[in-house]
């Protein structure tokens, strides 16, 4: 990265961070997410037990001093499994959205910038993808690729591509006609340079917001896929599969479904708060 | 650095340039057979009303007319001996910015709002010079101080600058690669009067320093008189009169040019109403037959309605497109009083 892009982002980011700080909910979301990221990164250090350590004599124990969130049917510590599960969920969330953003973003940018036939061809393909409910699409892709973490990320990512293509295309369309783009062309800039140096940086606001909201959606659909057995395979813990594993014992050991559920809810909520905060901070019209 | 040293002749030779905007129902004839030349180091003014085709001509010179709907229908543009009409996309990108630079009319929207001004000047240098980013930034600092902005402001963003300052930044960008030809599209019309004078003086000084040829597009005859060597009066996509500034301002020959001069208020003249030209410029999608000015011309004859006059030399390089050119002393001259 050249020194001047760093400088540019600092100027923008400074003002933006200041506005974000004024929103307590966004700050809450940001803090929770930061903690989750740290927990996932340092899982082996933080988790009291390994994710597959079985204490069969302690099976179905409710929360107590030894197992803070209780144990499951094999006597595995739920807290430890949630901590390791954060790795999967966050990875799936960010990688899937990253995939969707890069592919969908590229397609959208090309469609919006060149317009005409190219625009029609790309966007009609996206419309076809949009016609299929995205959860069903992800299930179909995951089923054909087979279960597993990487396939989970790919299937959730592909299902999100058309949303990004639409958003980026719209953003590019609104910037493309502006005079500084004409000026860049008069400077002798090529198309790629115009797209990446002038158009994309000016259409970041809706993209950033959509990304944060979609990370939540990706985590949720990954949990959904794991719930029906198409995601991460046991014994590795995934929030969705923990939830699904606990549902047979929901009356005897409600903590087995309660805590994964609360974790998922908290994560999604934080991402949504952060996304809302980002939208307010980036959109001058919504500024209070 | 000197662009014109030891070079004679014309940097730019435009012949019969025709540019249309082809809309669904109609064709807008924005530029209809424009021919002119520009010498090395010379400044030419394009003067005309809004919609006369000044900006389209300028964009056409760089092949930047938005297409569709714009179409370069015909003509030749020889820039330093090369026909721009036949240049490839890559050649065009190399010419734009490096050889021909463009300053657009609105400094408020012509700068990228999320890039620091220093980066925007440096980008122009990086694009054309092959210098490293560090060297380009040094060049950008130099350009910034040349246009009278402290180099400490390199990292500031466009919204932190006033209109006049932004126009200076645009000038710095345009001149960063010392282009051979600078096209300025109403560079001062978005600025207030005191800043206008500053910016014009700056451009004049820098043009001499870099020895750049210039096309100044304006609707202000005062600006043309102050900054330009020659003036072309443009009406409905055509040059109707072109001469060196002094002879045009002392003896304008075309009825339209005369009308323009008469519509300027004079400080030594006490009157309530200015002599405005009657009527409006014709819709370029429905140009009248013959001379496009004849419906508004007080001297129009049958000849004017039938065919359009060509641009011809009436002596000393004074070019005129009017059927009345032979009778100017007896008839039209009296209007110019």
Sorted by where each begins, the domain ranges of chain A are: 3-286
- Chain B positions in Cβ-Cβ contact with residue A193 (cut-off 8 Å): 127
User: Is B295 a member of any domain?
Assistant: yes
Of B228, B259, B283, the last residue of a domain is B228
Q: Domain tally for chain B?
A: 2
* Strand-by-strand arrangement of the B70-79 sheet: B27-39, B10-22, B70-79, B82-83
Residues 177-216 of A with CB under 8 A from B: 178-180, 182-190, 193, 197-198, 201-202, 204
Residues B223, B256 share a domain: no
Q: Does residue B227 sit in helix, strand or coil?
A: helix
In a domain, B113, yes or no: yes
Q: Is residue B241 part of a domain?
A: no
Segments in chain A below pLDDT 50: 1-10, 286-288
Beta pairing partners, B233: B47, B241
> What residues does B74 pair with on adjacent strands?
B18
- CA-CA-CA-CA torsion sign (B32, B36, B40, B45): negative
Q: Does residue B320 sit in helix, strand or coil?
A: strand
Both B141 and B258 in one domain: the answer is: no
Do residue B211 and residue B278 come from a single domain? no
Is the domain of B192 the same as that of B285? no
Q: Is residue B159 part of a domain?
A: yes
Q: Which residues pair with B36 in a beta bridge?
A: B14
Quote the pLDDT of residue A7.
41
- Same domain assignment for residues B139 and B209: yes
d(CA B282, CA B293): 8
Across the interface, whether the CB atoms of A188 and B118 are under 8 A apart is answered no
Residue B277 in any domain: the answer is: yes
Q: Do B155 and A184 touch (CB under 8 A)?
A: no
Does residue B138 form part of some domain?
yes
ipTM of this predicted structure: 0.78
Q: What does the pLDDT read at residue A111?
A: 92
Same structural domain for residues B167 and B127? yes
The C-alpha atoms of residue A39 and residue A22 are separated, in whole angstroms, by 26
Signed CA dihedral, A131, A132, A135, A137: sign only: negative
Same domain, yes or no: B106 and B190:
yes
**Residues B148 and B108 reside in one and the same domain:** yes
Q: Are A180 and B124 a contacting pair at CB < 8 A?
A: no
Distance separating the N- and C-terminal Cα atoms of chain B: 46
Q: What is the secondary structure of B235-294 as a DSSP string? A: ETTEEEEEEEHHHHHH---SHHHHHHHHTS--TT---SS--PPSS-PPPTTSPPSSSTTG
Q: Are residues B295 and B196 in the same domain?
A: no
Q: What is the pTM of this model?
A: 0.75
Distance CA B63, CA B58 (A): 9
- How many Å apart are CA B37 and CA A238, to the nearest integer? 74
User: Do both B101 and B169 map to the same domain?
Assistant: yes
Q: What angle is formed at CA A178 by the lines to CA A172 and CA A182, rounded to 5 degrees? A: 105
8 Å CB contact of B110 and A7: no
B118 and B168 part of one domain: yes
Give strand pairing partners of B100: B96, B181
Look-up of token digits 């400094």: B107
Pairing of strands B230-235, B43-47: parallel
Considering only the beta carbons, identify the residue of A2, A182, A198 that sits closest to B133: A2
Query: Does residue B81 belong to any structural domain of this protein?
Result: no
pLDDT tens for chain B, 337 residues long, are 445 555 667 899 999 999 999 888 888 888 988 899 999 989 999 998 888 888 899 999 999 888 778 888 888 899 988 888 888 888 888 889 889 999 888 888 889 888 889 999 999 999 888 888 888 999 999 999 888 889 889 888 888 888 888 988 998 999 888 899 999 998 888 788 888 888 888 888 888 888 899 999 988 888 888 889 999 999 988 899 999 998 888 888 888 888 888 888 878 877 777 777 777 888 878 888 888 888 888 888 888 888 888 888 887 788 888 888 755 544 444 444 3
Within 10 angstroms of residue A253's Cβ, the number of other Cβ atoms is: 20
Overall CATH class of domain A3-286: mainly alpha
- CB atoms B64 and A180 under 8 Å: no
Closest residue by Cα to residue A97 from A151, A135, A154, A146: A154
Alpha carbon distance B336, B308 (integer Å): 23
Question: From the list A2, A183, A189, which residue is nearest B110 (CB)?
Answer: A183
Of the residues B189, B213, B228, the one at which a domain ends: B228
Q: Which domain holds residue B48?
A: 42-68+86-228
For residues B140 and B218, state if they share a domain.
yes
Within-domain flag for B23: no
């Amino acid at each position: 990265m050249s020194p001047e892009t760093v400088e540019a982002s600092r100027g923008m980011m400074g003002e933006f961070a200041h506005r974000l700080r004024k929103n307590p909910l966004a700050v809450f979301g940001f803090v929770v997410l930061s903690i989750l990221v740290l927990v996932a990164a340092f899982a082996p250090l933080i988790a009291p037990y390994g994710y597959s350590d079985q204490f069969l004599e302690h099976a179905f124990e409710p929360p107590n001093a030894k197992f803070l969130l209780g144990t499951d049917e094999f006597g595995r510590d739920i807290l430890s499994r949630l901590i390791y599960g954060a790795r999967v969920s966050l990875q799936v969330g960010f990688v899937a959205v990253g995939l969707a953003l890069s592919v969908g973003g590229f397609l959208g940018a090309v469609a919006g910038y060149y317009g005409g036939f190219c625009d029609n061809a790309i966007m009609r393909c996206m419309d076809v993808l949009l016609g299929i409910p995205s959860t069903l699409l992800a299930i179909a892709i995951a089923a054909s690729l087979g279960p597993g973490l990487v396939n989970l990320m790919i299937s959730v990512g592909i299902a999100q591509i058309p949303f990004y293509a639409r958003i980026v295309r719209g953003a590019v369309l609104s910037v493309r006609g502006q005079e500084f783009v004409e000026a860049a062309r008069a400077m002798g800039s090529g198309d790629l340079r115009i797209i990446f140096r002038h158009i994309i940086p000016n259409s970041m606001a809706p993209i950033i917001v959509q990304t944060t909201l979609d990370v939540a959606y990706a985590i949720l659909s990954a949990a959904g896929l794991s719930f029906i057995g198409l995601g991460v395979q046991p014994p590795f813990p995934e929030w969705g599969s923990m939830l699904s594993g606990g549902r047979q014992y929901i009356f005897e050991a409600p903590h087995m479904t309660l805590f994964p559920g609360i974790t998922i809810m908290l994560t999604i909520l934080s991402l949504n708060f952060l996304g809302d905060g980002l939208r307010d901070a980036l959109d001058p019209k919504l500024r209070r | 650095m000197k662009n014109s040293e030891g070079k004679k002749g014309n940097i730019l030779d435009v012949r019969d340039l025709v540019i249309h905007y082809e809309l669904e129902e109609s064709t807008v004839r924005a530029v209809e057979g424009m021919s002119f030349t520009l010498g090395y180091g010379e400044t030419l003014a394009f003067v005309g009303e809004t919609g006369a085709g000044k900006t389209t001509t300028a964009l056409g010179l760089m092949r930047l007319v938005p297409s569709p709907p714009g179409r370069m229908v015909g003509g030749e543009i020889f820039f330093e001996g090369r026909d721009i009409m036949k240049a490839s996309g890559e050649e065009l990108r190399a010419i734009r910015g490096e050889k021909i630079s463009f300053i657009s009319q609105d400094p408020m929207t012509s700068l990228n709002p999320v890039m620091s001004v220093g980066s925007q000047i440096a980008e122009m240098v990086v694009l054309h010079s092959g210098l490293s980013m560090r060297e380009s930034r040094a060049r950008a600092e130099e350009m910034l101080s040349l246009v009278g902005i402290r180099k400490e402001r390199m990292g500031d963003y466009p919204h932190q600058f006033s209109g006049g300052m932004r126009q200076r930044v645009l000038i710095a960008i345009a001149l960063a690669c010392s282009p051979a030809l600078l096209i300025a599209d109403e560079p001062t019309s978005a600025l207030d009067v005191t800043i206008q004078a500053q910016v014009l003086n700056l451009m004049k000084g820098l043009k001499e320093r870099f020895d750049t040829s210039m096309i100044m597009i304006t609707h202000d005859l005062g600006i043309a008189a102050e900054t330009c060597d020659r003036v072309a009066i443009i009406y409905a996509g055509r040059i109707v009169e072109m001469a060196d500034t002094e002879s045009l301002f002392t003896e304008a020959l075309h009825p339209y040019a005369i009308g323009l001069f008469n519509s300027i208020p004079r400080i030594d003249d006490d009157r309530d109403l200015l002599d405005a030209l009657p009527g409006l410029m014709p819709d370029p999608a429905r140009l009248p037959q013959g001379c496009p000015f004849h419906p508004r011309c007080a001297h129009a004859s049958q000849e004017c309605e039938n065919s359009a006059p060509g641009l011809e030399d009436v002596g000393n390089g004074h070019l005129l497109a009017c059927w009345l050119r032979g009778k100017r002393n007896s008839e039209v001259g009296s209007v110019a009083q």
